[in-house]
């Protein structure tokens, strides 16, 4: 998962400058709010993306392993829901590890359309996929998948199947998740199907361990946000004076990540001074955990009919398939 990718080189492009201005505005605005917060999408600079890759391999972080396991064991069943000549559209593609499993199991897929804001990465992944799937059209689209974008002309008449693995949907607020599902329906169009990976509610010990790994990689991932702010926004956060806090909030059905200030202190960011009380936190991420029924209800409200759901043997993670109904999904005011 890569949120903001910036081109190399000495002179930033106008687009890069806009991204940096938005980053500064989001961070300063979030740190001046109460409670303090910074959007989770800013975790994913180059270091953050590498740290996230390491998280997915941690013994305590079960989601990736569970999802890959379900994909492998249920690939043939999932494949049955994918029509002949389909275009598989992956939202926020990153590395295509999970898509590869579906592509192998469903040779009827005629085109793979990875969509990600990091064009460089999906082009690289596409180049690696093509020789392994010579009959497949690989058509990367560089776009922020939460915004409007057009599918390639070549797949305009193909049946569209969306793919949104990784429980990235859990990093949206529930109303945003519903809005995203409706948005996916509008992008994919009539007759579309959608395959979503979602992390399920489970005992707090399992969740707390997954976000507080013994090796400290999740803590490093969380604190890297302050490093990034220091580097890119002229911040002067002392990383030794903040601590990673993560816990399951059962009432809200989410794992919250925070950076807690270890003392009363001040920090500068983009020319602004921000004050912290001892123990005050910056809320950096929510990772919502769903029941299969709750996600199905959310999807129904966004115009999708649940077709099938698969879970692993522990019921830790689920992959759910949906079909777009004929009723048009509600139009988002922001679009």
Applying CB under 6 A, the residues found at the interface with ligand AVI are: 1, 55, 63, 166-168, 170-171, 211, 218, 285, 287
Tell me how far, at minimum, the Cβ of 316 lies from ligand AVI, in Å. 12
Nearer to ligand AVI, 109 or 179 (CB): 179
Signed CA dihedral, 286, 291, 292, 298: sign only: negative
Residue position matching structure tokens 């806090």: 245
Task: Identify each DSSP E strand in 204-326 by its residue range.
Answer: 242-249, 254-261, 265-269, 272-276, 281-288, 304-311, 317-324
How buried is 93 (Cβ within 10 angstroms: 0-12 exposed, 13-18 middle, 19+ buried)? buried
Tell me how far, at minimum, the Cβ of 97 lies from ligand AVI, in Å. 14
Cβ-count burial 300-312 (b if 16+ within 10 Å, e if not)? eebbbebeebbbb
Nearer to ligand AVI, 139 or 198 (CB): 198
CA gap 91, 133 in Å, rounded: 20
Tell me how far, at minimum, the Cβ of 246 lies from ligand AVI, in Å. 7
What is the maximum span of the chain, computed from C-alpha positions, in angstroms? 61
Nearer to ligand AVI, 74 or 168 (CB): 168
Nearer to ligand AVI, 2 or 101 (CB): 2
Tell me how far, at minimum, the Cβ of 111 lies from ligand AVI, in Å. 26
Nearer to ligand AVI, 40 or 82 (CB): 40
- Token pair recorded at residue 6: 């910036």
- Measured from each CB, the residue nearest to ligand AVI is 287
């Amino acid at each position: 998962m890569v949120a903001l990718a910036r081109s190399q080189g000495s002179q930033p492009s106008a687009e890069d400058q806009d991204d940096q201005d938005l980053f500064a505005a989001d961070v300063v605005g979030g740190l001046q709010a109460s409670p303090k917060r910074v959007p989770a999408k800013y975790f994913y600079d180059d270091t953050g993306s590498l740290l996230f890759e390491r998280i997915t391999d941690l013994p305590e972080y079960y989601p990736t392993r569970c999802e890959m396991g379900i994909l492998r064991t249920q690939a043939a069943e999932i494949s049955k829901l994918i029509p002949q000549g389909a275009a598989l559209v992956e939202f926020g593609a990153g590395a295509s590890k999970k898509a590869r499993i579906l592509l192998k199991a469903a040779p009827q897929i005629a085109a793979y359309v990875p969509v990600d804001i990091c064009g460089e990465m999906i082009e690289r992944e596409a180049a690696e996929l093509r020789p392994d799937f010579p009959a497949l059209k690989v058509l990367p689209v560089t776009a922020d998948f939460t915004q409007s974008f057009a599918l390639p002309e070549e797949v305009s008449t193909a049946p569209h199947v969306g793919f949104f693995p990784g429980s990235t949907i859990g990093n949206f607020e529930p109303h945003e998740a519903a809005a995203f599902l409706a948005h996916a329906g509008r992008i994919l169009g009539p007759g579309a199907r959608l395959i979503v990976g979602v992390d399920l509610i489970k005992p707090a010990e399992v969740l707390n361990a997954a976000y507080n790994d013994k090796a400290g990689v999740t803590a490093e991932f969380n604190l890297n946000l302050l490093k990034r702010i220091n580097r890119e926004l002229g911040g002067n956060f002392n990383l030794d004076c903040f601590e990673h806090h993560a816990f399951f909030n059962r009432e809200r059905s989410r794992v919250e990540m925070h950076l807690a200030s270890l003392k009363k202190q001040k920090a500068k960011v983009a020319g602004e001074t921000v004050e912290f009380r001892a123990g005050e936190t910056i809320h950096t991420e929510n990772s919502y955990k769903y029941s299969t029924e709750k996600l199905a209800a959310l999807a129904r409200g966004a115009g999708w009919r649940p077709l099938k759901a698969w879970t692993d043997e522990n019921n830790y993670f689920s992959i759910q398939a949906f079909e777009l109904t004929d009723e048009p999904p509600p139009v988002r005011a922001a679009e």
